[in-house]
Amino acid sequence: MAKTSSIYSRPRQIMAQKLRLARNDVGLTQLAVANLLNTSQSYVSKVELGQCRVDAIQLASLAKIYRKQIQHFLS
């Protein structure tokens, strides 16, 4: 049986929660973050719900916006 990598894994859900909390900590709306990333609000929502994978470049951009180190979201 092949092992599959779910986007709903516990580590991904923890990262999604940390991203949502970091956004709230800096006082930004999902729409404001979407505008800074040149993407849609629905993308930011899906990231925060753990429904969408975040690649390293996207995570670096989010970390910069949220004034956090990338490691904060991975630990």
- The model's pLDDT over 20-41, given as tens digits with 9 standing for 90+, comes to 999 999 999 999 999 999 999 9
Whether 4 shows a pLDDT value over 70: the answer reads: no
Distance, CA of 20 to CA of 45 (rounded, Å): 9
Residue whose entry in the numeric block shows the structure tokens 């940390």: 18
Domain boundaries, the chain: 10-74
Query: Residue 65 class from Cβ within 10 Å (0-12 exposed, 13-18 middle, 19+ buried)?
Result: middle
User: What pTM, to 2 d.p., does this model score?
Assistant: 0.87
Q: Which CATH class is domain 10-74?
A: mainly alpha
Distance between alpha carbon 2 and the CA centroid of its chain, in Å?
Answer: 27
At residue 9, the pLDDT reads: 87
- The model's pLDDT over 35-65, given as tens digits with 9 standing for 90+, comes to 999 999 999 999 999 999 999 999 999 999 9
